[in-house]
Structure 1
Amino acid sequence: MFRTRLCVSVGGLRGLRLSSSSSASGFSSNQVRQTFLDFFQQKHRHRFVPSSPVRPRGDPSLLFVNAGMNQFKPIFLGTADPRSEMVNYRRVVNSQKCIRAGGKHNDLEDVGRDVYHHTFFEMLGNWSFGDYFKEETCAMAWSLLTEHYGISPDRLYVSYFGGDGESGLPADQETREIWLNIGVPADRVLPFGPRENFWEMGDTGPCGPCTEIHYDHIGGRNAALLVNSHSPDVVEIWNLVFMQYNREADHSLRPLPKLSVDTGMGLERLVTVLQGKRSNYDTDLFTPLLTAIQERSGCGGYRGRTGESDEGKVDMAYRVVADHIRTLSVCIADGVYPGMSGAELVLRRILRRAVRFCIEVLQAPQGALASLVPTVAHILGDAFPELHRDTDRIMDIINENEQQFLASLQRGRRLIENTLRTTESRQQLFPGAVAWSLHRNLGFPLDLVDLMVEERGTRVDHTEVECLRAQEEKRRSELQLSEMENQLRLDVHSLALLQSRAVPQTDDSPKYQYSLDAHNQYVFPSCQASIQALYSGQTLVSEVTRGQSCGVILDRTCFYSEQGGQSHDQGYFIRDGEQEVLHPVEMVSLAGGYVVHQVTAADTLRIGDSVLLHLDQGQRLACMVKHTATHLLSWALRGLLGPSTEQRGSHVTADRLRFDFSVKASLSISQLKQLDCFVQDVVTENQTVYVEEIPLDRASTIPGLRTIDEVYPDPVRVVSVGVPISELLDSRTDRQTSVELCCGTHLLRTGAIEDLVVVSERQRLKGVSRIVAVTGDQARQAREVGQALTQDVESLSARIKASISSCLPSAQQLAKEVGVLSDAVDNTPIPQWQRRELQSLLKALQRSSNTTIRKLETREAAVKAQSLLEKNGDKTLLVDSVDLDSLSVVMKTVNQISDRAPASLVMLLSHQQPSGKVLCACQVPKGFTALSANDWAVAVCSFLGGAAGGSMLVAKGTGSSSDITEALRWAEEYARNKTNS
């Protein structure tokens, strides 16, 4: 069973302590949340850990954080940085923001149909990492629910794992006995199988039996038969998971070296219970939103109806909009914006589904959806202050995306109508491929496609849609596997085995041990180390042989492992006494304090071998240059756009740097120039880069310190450009500079950057821009190429201005040159500000060239039309050849003949030598029904082995022939036959 559980952040009023006989209806949602946190913090010594953002940290298996335990996965997997505070977690409590939409746990299509599904929810949770286990967990849960929340024990039932014959797992009798000892009646302690009571993190990883607490809304009866029966009257409220096993890749289970507890209780469902409601939407988490929706809509108030009783799906629309605006607000505040892939694509679909219900069902005006954001902030802002801080930005992004969707709606309707016209019968299923395209490419919610198709008397082929969905998921899965298949991944058992064998964690401090020599050249000393462990595949071995791919763990290393947005080092190592045998290091990764070097052994390697490590110094230095330059860019952007500008991702390689940041629109040409100038000034000054490792709490006092959302080690490395860190720690200083927490490798002085050029800046998605920049020789080359392209554009501009009255071939050639230069400007690395300037100039030149060509074509067509009219007299069927090499001019010639002889049927063929290509254009009089221009052109071009298209009045096409005499005769005969029949 794969379960996700809910969680949130802190805030609100202190909880009320109620006895079991007290009325629980007085609890506000803020009090419910805070009572939970206080219970575990104050009464049971748990550490509060704030909710993580809904975008998972470094976990490609998840689109969104969908359970409270997501941020603690490194602890369960044993991969937490041994220097981070996380390794000291023993008892933890929190309230986590969760999104259940997309991926394995997807409730999106169910939201609104009932009164309890949500895409955004809060999960209250408490954890034990190798501390307390089953007995304490159950006792604490029962105490909180019955004594502090005042829930009557007579309303509660518990389920436990009843065993699994297929896997051979016995029933969890220990948990059953615990509940009986607490005082739960035996007929309310119920066994269930693995589907209900065995929790797994994923296809592999930590897992274990769970026990769940269920609540009976009715009471005064024995409702044991309704537990886990999908009854709305008896619902699960808390899931207590006992992490005992690890699910291996072969699906077997192995006992974990450390037992842990992972619990989750949905705040929305708990509040429903404590406020005496039957619907989550009737609680104070939603009622202010429903009231706000009514004020903005053209419908009556919310009545809580579902199914067939919900006429016009009005109440469903209320629930959809209320749920989705919460999700949109939380996601955008956490930096997830509507986009075209991954989590961004899911959010785009949520927004469009909300817009559709808001405007089409609730009859609210455009902009009504975004106007609900302040109400969301009022309800949740105490727990999540970012909602108050970012209200205006959230509203702007929703409004902009709403406008885009309303435009897409028109395109979608046209596509549906066109598709239905081509189907043989309205009884035929609407093609699933078209429905999926609307969903995948235009962002249409599938239920909207269903509705639009049903309104036209048919239905979508959902079998084909599901097939296409499965294919996409398979491709995505295969891509992830292909990226991971060459990487050795240390799992929880591998790490435990290394520790049991007393294999020391890798000392990787030598990666920072480099210096400048007397000539200002960087010196990277080699590093002596000994092999501590060898992996062949996932198995620890004592030796590997030549040609074998393996993972090597050393006692110390100077290689940088992939982290902090910086790519790993490359290089090689040699064994003592074997200078000629190089073992290339292909990848370097870090897990649980162990640095793993992926190597293809050039000869036999054994545990205990002494090796000498050598970095690829050019690659390392290039990464250092780019990483320090990234810090300067980040600092410059905050100076340019304001301190609220946030980093949304970065990646540093030897070739280039990439930096994503929050901004409402793309940077202007002026801003891009300022960026380049700012960085260039710091580079020219050759400022010192200061790096110091200090306690995390001291570092947090530095004014202007930039951090990102992640768990930092303690002590932490601080990187400051131009200002000593001791000075920054002095509260009397007011010097401003780039100062960040960073584990990456950096330059010692900024001069080594030499130059920096932003070669690309664009909105990756609404509200987030991506900068790509190059340094050093690449930057100089970009500037040189940019200057050369500027000269080319200026030269072409002068030639175009001088040739306004030139002949058509000359003008066409100049237009082609504009196109070639435009491609070069668009696709060549040059300064982005210069690219924007040149693109603007080239667009103006293209417009000028097109205007000139149109005028010259019209002039030439007039001459040809006059000549043909004089040759053919007053014929009502004019089929002739013309000496032209442009289909556009042939068409213009036909148009001019038709204007002067409006009753005539006109077709012209132009034979291009020596290619043999034939150009064809035709026109028939308006209202003439005996012959369609499209049919005429298609027939003639088919005769010539080509193709054509057009309308009833005008058409054009191409074919090929060495002699068009026969084609002219055939075209005229075809027209006569049609008009005489």
Structure 2
Amino acid sequence: MAAFFGLSKSSNVLLNNVSALRGIRTCAFQTVPGYTEFSSKKVRNVFTDFFKEKYGHRLVPSSPVKPRGDPSLLFVNAGMNQFKPIFLGTADPRSEMTQYRRVVNSQKCVRAGGKHNDLEDVGRDVYHHTFFEMLGNWSFGDYFKEEACLMAWELLTQVYRIPQDRLYVTYFGGDSALGLKSDEESREIWLSMGIESDHVLPFGLKDNFWEMGETGPCGPCTEIHYDHMGGRNAAALVNRDSPEVVEIWNLVFMQYNREADGRLRTLPQHNVDTGMGLERLVTILQGKRSNYDTDLFTPILRAIQESSKGPVYRGLVGEADVGNVDMAYRVLADHIRTLCVCIADGVYPGMSGAELVLRRILRRAVRFSTEVLQAPPGFLAGLVPTVAHILGDAYPELNRETNRIMDIITDNEVAFLSSLKQGRRVIDRTLQKMEDSRVFPVGVAWSLHRNLGFPLDLLGLMLEEKGVAMDTEGLDKLAMENARHKAQTQQSELGSCVELDVHTLAELQRRGVPATQDAPKYAYRLGEGGKYVFSPCQSTVLALYCDRSLVTEVEEGRRCAVILNQTCFYAEQGGQAHDQGYFIREGQQDVLFPVENVQTAGGYVLHEVTLAETLRLGDQVQLFVDVPQRLACMVKHTATHILNFALRQVLGDGVEQRGSHVAADRLRFDFSFQGTLIIKQLQDIEQTIKDIIQRNENVYTEEVPLKLAKRIQGLRVMDEVYPDPVRVVCVGVPVDCLVKSQTDQQTSIELCCGTHLLRTGEIKDFVIVSERQLVKGISRIIAVTGEQAKEAREAGHTLAQEVDSLSMRLESGIHTLSEAQRLSKEVGQLIDAVESTAVPQWQRRELQTTLKALQRTANTAIRKQEAKEAAKKVQTLLTKHGDKTLVVDTVDADSISVLMKVANQFCDKSPGVFTMLLSQQHSGKVLCACQVPKSSVGVLSAVDWAVAVCTHMNGNAGGSVIVAKGTGSTSDLEGVLKWAQEFAKSRTQKRLN
């Protein structure tokens, strides 16, 4: 076998341990001679093939970097993330995930924001990245320490042929304070493989004990480090952040669980989780010292140089990198990879969470491209095809989404360049006012960050270049206050008792508590008159979970999770909200136990209940689902499937579902589409759905083996882990016909665990009440059904009548200013009503277009009437003041715009006159308008005059040296007139004389 695999004699140490390597199979796997001949693609494939073909691992595709159902993560940041349900014991027993024993893959990872954040280091050195690929192999209750170490060493030294003397191994050296012993088992394994003792090094908790989070599975780890220099003993540089000696592979042995009180408990099943950075491994195998010198980055660096016309990348760091040019190259090469991968996986630059982090990454890249490399606009998006070319074979979604990624990056770049320009002006003005201070005001910094989306790290860099520091302590306080506020708003979501830890799940299995039979949730039929009849469900209490432990009884008034042998309640999953309802104990019809929440974990359905009486194990209960709420969800879920089908019918097969949520009151559906839907498209989508509703087609459901289901023509399969067998839901065609057919049936066919109608007619009506773009290329539809849809149509009809009536009144002519103002106000109120009322979206768009035109008509009428009214008042002023050169008087005017028109027209008729007009309002407020001759700008400024008079009235004003306006308040208007006149005379005495 050694000869077959091309192994050297020294590899016999490995093969002598063949009894430990269970599952070794003869295969055609070959090593590649000469480790400098590896391309990045080959490195990735050799890794997965090694574990798949030789050691029987299952190759699992990378999950998207957008976590599914894991609010604890901003991004997938490690290969183990998608396997957390296995580690935590919460995987659905029917899913293929529970069958995993040995797994291998290359996982897309992003570490930016949250606990693992490498963003600040990217560009400053040659090995940190926000996006990277993690090669990993896993064992779930199969092999453990010895086999994992043997496989890793064989791959590195015999397949990749990395010199053994350049490798150093670390292991957990124990922690006496926590009572953790040294992992001598791992140490002995490495020594038994012939590794020199001075290359096997112990380290503490920080370096060699891995934890998933504050609580959860954890355990000691052993790491493999590589010395780029060689020919020396580099043990002293291991784990010292040296660029010469870097960690390449971490083997985690999950054998404990960290409890909420900090204690460690042995896990019921031991698992292995390994992770090796592809970028660092490729650097070694291609004989480089920098990740950026490998074929994962060099094409991007070339593209940057060609597009920016900048200097050639030299790989300089620190002070040697004059002007941060090479740092900019590294930032752009790293960030464009992250942007491409994230956007392709459904994470878009936004204002919160992962979206905010991605926005920050994009803006950091734009800043470096424009300010350091002086690259032209659109430069960043131009790098996308290069990234797709490098990574597209491994992650084909990058090729499919290239155009959309470019569009999103371009749109965000344009927006940020505008913000950057505005922010730079704010920074420059602030620096000019700072005088001798060298610390930038924290209030201005936070305003730039909060209001303009200005990344604080970019602000820091820009200030650093100008020799000014940021008040980081003050900013930290503001950030902490902001985080505290967010935490308080999320507090109400905590405290649920329907989350079971890995030990509780294991204890349930040890006690022989079977998984909950939830097939009764589908036990309903159409009765007389087309009314849905839900079968009764009798159940037995098998487990009670209260205060984080399993108990035999729970007292009245306490909240707990109840596990039953069977249930008709639908647990929240598949985008559908959970059922509500209650159950009663056998023989006690008057005592209700309200079910507040229903979730699933590890095959158990947990009913969250606040007890009206003491509940005990073994109690017999009868379950009652809230039928109206369940039916409403069934209606919305079936309507969602039909909407998905209708979108493809109207918009084309390029439409892809990007997310959905079904609740009793409405449905939400996100999908890929370039642009906003036009009115005709919205109408066609609704009509397609209404046709299916009117045909009252049957809705067929059937469980089918997963492999068989995936062969169904026209079926859209999401990037999810499905149970096996899987439930197929089809409108109008029996599922067995779909399985047998080789043609696309042109109907709605989906894999779905949700509850659905039996016939489409029960939907009754369907209305899209909202459609908008979340980001470029992704749209969101909100829709209602049944009575709500009817109400939306009626509301739309009523608003349309009001708009028609208003339009006729405007067309009949406007004869007074008050009439024009009243009609303008009514137009504004209708605009608000159309925006906020649930009406068909196509009709909303029509009404909004009409109302915008009416608003323009009303505004034009107001201007005309104001001009007419001003002309009358001007005539009165001309008669009253004759040939005066200074006019300070009162005018009866309802608005500042009318008063300004009077002043303007009066000055046109009386050139050379200094004019100030005041108007007392019923509220007591005084309006002020003034204008001075252009030829007298140096004599008296209009804005100075207005500011002085309005300040005298405890108000304020603004304007130019020619024209100004303001407001104030006074009970002595005559006194103000005299004061205004005297002020003007004192400034213009010579001119007025």
Under a length normalisation based on structure 2, what TM-score does the superposition of the two structures give?
Answer: 0.94
Q: Cα offset for 1:975?
A: 3.6
Unaligned stretches of 5+ residues in structure 2: 1-27
Indicate the larger mover: 871-880 or 509-518.
Answer: 871-880
Q: Give 2:564's aligned amino acid.
A: L
Q: Give 2:358's aligned amino acid.
A: L
Q: Cα offset for 1:360?
A: 2.7
User: Counterparts of 1:503 and 1:959 in 2: how far apart (Å)?
Assistant: 78
> What's 2:585 paired with?
575
User: Counterparts of 1:267 and 1:622 in 2: how far apart (Å)?
Assistant: 49
> What's 1:825 paired with?
834
> What's 1:964 paired with?
973
Q: Cα offset for 1:456?
A: 5.8
Q: Secondary structure at the match of 1:737?
A: coil
What does the per-residue CA deviation read over 1:853-897, in whole Å, with 9 as the maximum and x for residues that have no partner?
112212222332332233223434322111111111112222223
User: Counterparts of 2:431 and 2:941 in 1: how far apart (Å)?
Assistant: 24
Q: Secondary structure at the match of 1:139?
A: helix
User: Counterparts of 1:235 and 1:980 in 2: how far apart (Å)?
Assistant: 83
Distance change >3 Å, CA 481–CA 415, structure 1 → 2: same
For the pair 1:17 / 2:27, whether they are aligned, the reply is: no
* Equivalent of 2:768 in 731, 749, 758: 758
> What's 2:541 paired with?
531
For the pair 1:49 / 2:63, whether they are aligned, the reply is: no
Distance change >3 Å, CA 761–CA 485, structure 1 → 2: same
User: Counterparts of 1:416 and 1:953 in 2: how far apart (Å)?
Assistant: 31
What does the per-residue CA deviation read over 1:295-316, in whole Å, with 9 as the maximum and x for residues that have no partner?
1112121111111111221111
Q: Cα offset for 1:424?
A: 4.5
The answer to whether the 8 A contact 2:541-2:618 is kept is yes
Q: Cα offset for 1:247?
A: 1.4
Q: Give 1:322's aligned amino acid.
A: A
Q: Give 1:573's aligned amino acid.
A: F
> What's 1:156 paired with?
167
The answer to whether the 8 A contact 1:101-1:119 is kept is yes
* Equivalent of 2:131 in 98, 115, 120: 120
User: Counterparts of 2:400 and 2:690 in 1: how far apart (Å)?
Assistant: 34
Distance change >3 Å, CA 267–CA 734, structure 1 → 2: closer
* Equivalent of 2:371 in 353, 360, 376: 360
Distance change >3 Å, CA 975–CA 256, structure 1 → 2: farther
The answer to whether the 8 A contact 2:408-2:775 is kept is no
Q: Secondary structure at the match of 1:25?
A: helix
For the pair 1:504 / 2:518, whether they are aligned, the reply is: no
User: Counterparts of 2:338 and 2:216 in 1: how far apart (Å)?
Assistant: 29
What does the per-residue CA deviation read over 1:409-447, in whole Å, with 9 as the maximum and x for residues that have no partner?
3332333345445x4426253233433443344333334
The answer to whether the 8 A contact 1:111-1:118 is kept is yes
Distance change >3 Å, CA 437–CA 103, structure 1 → 2: farther
> What is the Cα-based RMSD across aligned positions, in Å?
1.9
Q: Cα offset for 1:779?
A: 0.3
Indicate the larger mover: 384-393 or 450-459.
Answer: 450-459
The answer to whether the 8 A contact 1:245-1:256 is kept is yes
For the pair 1:413 / 2:424, whether they are aligned, the reply is: yes
What does the per-residue CA deviation read over 1:910-944, in whole Å, with 9 as the maximum and x for residues that have no partner?
1123x323222223444635654444434433443
User: Counterparts of 1:94 and 1:346 in 2: how far apart (Å)?
Assistant: 26
> What's 1:541 paired with?
551
For the pair 1:336 / 2:342, whether they are aligned, the reply is: no
Q: Give 2:857's aligned amino acid.
A: S
> What's 2:11 paired with?
none
The answer to whether the 8 A contact 1:339-1:766 is kept is no
What does the per-residue CA deviation read over 1:124-173, in whole Å, with 9 as the maximum and x for residues that have no partner?
00011111111111111111111111011100111111112332211111
* Equivalent of 2:247 in 227, 230, 236: 236
* Equivalent of 2:620 in 610, 620, 639: 610
> What's 1:75 paired with?
86
* Equivalent of 1:743 in 742, 753, 761: 753
The answer to whether the 8 A contact 2:85-2:91 is kept is yes
Q: Give 1:861's aligned amino acid.
A: A
The answer to whether the 8 A contact 2:803-2:851 is kept is yes
Write out aligned runs for 1:175-574 (5 A): 175-420=186-431, 423-425=433-435, 427-454=437-464, 458-574=468-584
User: Counterparts of 1:742 and 1:369 in 2: how far apart (Å)?
Assistant: 40
> What's 1:85 paired with?
96
* Equivalent of 2:865 in 853, 856, 863: 856
> What's 1:923 paired with?
931
User: Counterparts of 1:105 and 1:265 in 2: how far apart (Å)?
Assistant: 16
The answer to whether the 8 A contact 2:713-2:743 is kept is no
The answer to whether the 8 A contact 1:325-1:369 is kept is yes
What does the per-residue CA deviation read over 1:521-580, in whole Å, with 9 as the maximum and x for residues that have no partner?
001122110111112221222212222111111111100011000000000110111101
* Equivalent of 1:910 in 905, 919, 928: 919
> What's 2:25 paired with?
none
For the pair 1:883 / 2:892, whether they are aligned, the reply is: yes
Q: Give 2:120's aligned amino acid.
A: E
Q: Cα offset for 1:765?
A: 2.0
User: Counterparts of 1:826 and 1:418 in 2: how far apart (Å)?
Assistant: 39
The answer to whether the 8 A contact 1:156-1:213 is kept is yes
User: Counterparts of 2:693 and 2:456 in 1: how far apart (Å)?
Assistant: 53
For the pair 1:646 / 2:656, whether they are aligned, the reply is: yes
Q: Secondary structure at the match of 1:660?
A: strand
User: Counterparts of 2:615 and 2:941 in 1: how far apart (Å)?
Assistant: 80
Q: Give 1:359's aligned amino acid.
A: T
Under a length normalisation based on structure 1, what TM-score does the superposition of the two structures give?
Answer: 0.95
> What's 2:23 paired with?
none
> What's 2:181 paired with?
170
The answer to whether the 8 A contact 2:29-2:50 is kept is no
Count matched residues: 962
Q: Give 1:857's aligned amino acid.
A: E
User: Counterparts of 1:425 and 1:954 in 2: how far apart (Å)?
Assistant: 33
Q: Cα offset for 1:399?
A: 2.2
Q: Cα offset for 1:474?
A: 3.5
The answer to whether the 8 A contact 2:210-2:221 is kept is yes
The answer to whether the 8 A contact 2:249-2:276 is kept is yes
User: Counterparts of 2:737 and 2:196 in 1: how far apart (Å)?
Assistant: 66
Distance change >3 Å, CA 933–CA 486, structure 1 → 2: farther
User: Counterparts of 1:712 and 1:287 in 2: how far apart (Å)?
Assistant: 39
User: Counterparts of 1:210 and 1:965 in 2: how far apart (Å)?
Assistant: 87
Q: Secondary structure at the match of 2:929?
A: strand
> What's 1:688 paired with?
698
Q: Secondary structure at the match of 2:178?
A: coil
Q: Give 2:926's aligned amino acid.
A: V
Q: Give 2:31's aligned amino acid.
A: R
Distance change >3 Å, CA 813–CA 419, structure 1 → 2: farther
Q: Cα offset for 1:901?
A: 4.0
Q: Give 2:823's aligned amino acid.
A: L
User: Counterparts of 1:876 and 1:181 in 2: how far apart (Å)?
Assistant: 107
> What's 2:963 paired with?
954
User: Counterparts of 1:665 and 1:433 in 2: how far apart (Å)?
Assistant: 38
Distance change >3 Å, CA 701–CA 854, structure 1 → 2: same
User: Counterparts of 2:630 and 2:324 in 1: how far apart (Å)?
Assistant: 61
> What's 1:10 paired with?
none
Q: Give 2:211's aligned amino acid.
A: E
* Equivalent of 2:878 in 845, 858, 869: 869
The answer to whether the 8 A contact 1:433-1:468 is kept is no
User: Counterparts of 1:127 and 1:31 in 2: how far apart (Å)?
Assistant: 21
Distance change >3 Å, CA 772–CA 156, structure 1 → 2: same
Q: Cα offset for 1:235?
A: 0.6
Distance change >3 Å, CA 676–CA 131, structure 1 → 2: same
Percent identical across equivalent pairs? 66
The answer to whether the 8 A contact 2:88-2:217 is kept is yes
* Equivalent of 1:632 in 639, 642, 650: 642
